[in-house]
Structure 1
Amino acid sequence: MRGRVLAQAMVVVALLGGCAQRAPHDQDVTLSGAQCVPANSSAASASSSLRVLPDGRVTGSVRHTGMLATGAQLHAALAGANGPTIVTLQRTGEGSFAAPPDARLTPLQYALYQAGGVYVNIQSAAYPAGEIRAQLKP
């Protein structure tokens, strides 16, 4: 799995070679069970205001409803695939998680993010691999 993600990232770096780094967009994403791999019929939902800055710092939070969350992370993989955890989010209250103050993507992870290859998901006891998910938008 790690080799596959590294290979994806290397392709992305090659495609982005020489491109200027873009500033983060102010677009929130909505998490749902339909975006999980495999998809599920969970009625839970969440809205993410997570941002990845050009220097790789991760800021923002995600708020969820309709589930009893056990954890939340950012993962490295394109839509339709699962990938390894790259940032573990911190619980900040009932129904919310946030990026820890020191959260930062590596240059390779940032390149993957720029290509749409980073997603956020929230797990529960019913769906330990992820109940709801959304790809972050660069």
Structure 2
Amino acid sequence: MKKTKKHGTLLFVAALMMGIMTSCKDEGPHNDPIVRFTSTINSQNTQPRATSSGQASGVFEFNRDTRNLTYNITYQGLTPTAIELRSAEPYWEVGPIEHNIAATGSSPVTGSVTLTPQQARLLRVGGMYINIPTAQYRFGEVRGQIVLEKFGND
């Protein structure tokens, strides 16, 4: 009798725990198909070093399902000859141009590109950056790493 009661209690507790675990919803930003990134673009990390008061910023949305990256890049205090999406491993190195976002134009620069699986991986781990060369600094007057946007109250 004690053994049956013990098994019954154990089964009840197990069933209760399963109910609690299956009723929990796995929600949050990690399940959102759209991931947001930002970039602060200045001369601090250019290679070779540039001295410029020019600056820019970028806001990016990456669709994990389609690998489409939309961008909105604003700049001031410089005249770009191009705006480049580059990759680098490690991130502080100079890397190849993955996409020429714009040849010239006015601020803001908006649009979208589709990333390859490798480029999407680099984006998620912080291995992509924006480089903006000018006539004076042909290797880049300003540069900014593309980083995951902070969320919550952090």
TM-score range, shorter chain: 0.7 to 0.9
2:57 is matched with 47
- Pick the aligned partner of 2:139 from 122, 126, 129: 129
C-alpha distance in structure 2 between counterparts of 1:58 and 1:87, whole Å: 11
1:81 aligns with 2:93: yes
- Pick the aligned partner of 1:69 from 80, 87, 90: 80
1:96 aligns with 2:124: no
TM-score by length of 2: 0.66
Return 5+ residue gaps in structure 1 as ranges. 1-19
Return 5+ residue gaps in structure 2 as ranges. 1-30, 149-154
Secondary structure in 2 matching 1:124 = coil
Identity rate, percent: 26
Aligned partners of 1:91 and 1:98 also within 8 Å: no
Structure with larger RCO (C-alpha < 8 A, sep 6+): 1
Higher share in helix: 2
Find the structure with the greater CA-based Rg: 2
Aligned length: 116
C-alpha distance in structure 1 between counterparts of 2:135 and 2:52, whole Å: 12
- Aligned CA RMSD, in angstroms, stands at 2.2
Following TM superposition, by how much is the alpha carbon of 1:31 offset from its aligned partner in structure 2, in angstroms? 0.3
C-alpha distance in structure 1 between counterparts of 2:69 and 2:79, whole Å: 24
